[in-house]
């Protein structure tokens, strides 16, 4: 959630002081109609954020694999956002967030491998590849 707060703060800063004409030119008139210049977390297609996106099973192997995938997806999104700007005030926090995703992925991977070494996930695994 902290990542979303940082991205939202950047969007707020970019919209601050924008004229109605600039908002329309950016295709944000629908957002402005419902939310003004306030933040409302949505994905790139306008689908609102909801807690349903958090996937947990209670199985440490499955949950850590989900966590690692989420970190990689977030890293890719930050890289795509970085491709869209040359503003150093936007690039700096995006670069920080991207690096955090890399570190989080590495820590999750370490724990994932630790659990595999301890035998988690073997009970129901028919292939016994791990």
* pLDDT the model gives residue 100: 94
Nearest CA among 73, 70, 93 for reference residue 82: 93
User: Can you spell out the DSSP letters for 71-89?
Assistant: HHHHHHHHHHHHHT---HH
3-state secondary structure 100-126: HHHHHHHHHHHHHHHHHHCCCCCCCCC
For residue range 90-103, list pLDDT tens digits in order.
999 999 999 999 99
Per the CB < 8 A criterion, the answer to whether 8 and 14 are in contact is no
Query: pTM value?
Result: 0.66
How confident is the model over 13-50, as pLDDT tens digits? 878 888 999 989 988 888 888 888 777 877 778 888 77
Taken in order 101, 102, 104, 105, is the CA torsion positive or negative? Answer: positive
Q: Which residue has the higher pLDDT, 86 or 45?
A: 86
Predicted pLDDT of residue 38: 77
pLDDT at position 106 over 50: yes
Distance CA 39, CA 11 (A): 8
């Amino acid at each position: 959630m902290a990542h979303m707060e940082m991205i939202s703060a950047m969007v707020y800063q970019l919209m601050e002081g924008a004229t109605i004409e600039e908002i329309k030119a950016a295709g944000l008139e629908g957002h402005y109609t419902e939310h003004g210049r306030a933040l409302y977390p949505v994905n790139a297609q306008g689908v609102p954020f909801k807690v349903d996106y958090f996937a947990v099973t209670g199985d440490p192997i499955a949950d850590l694999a989900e966590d690692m995938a989420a970190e990689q997806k977030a890293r890719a999104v930050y890289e795509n956002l970085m491709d869209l700007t040359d503003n150093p005030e936007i690039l700096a926090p995006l670069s920080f967030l991207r690096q955090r995703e890399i570190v989080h992925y590495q820590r999750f991977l370490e724990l994932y491998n630790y659990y595999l070494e301890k035998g988690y996930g073997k009970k129901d695994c028919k292939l016994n590849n791990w």
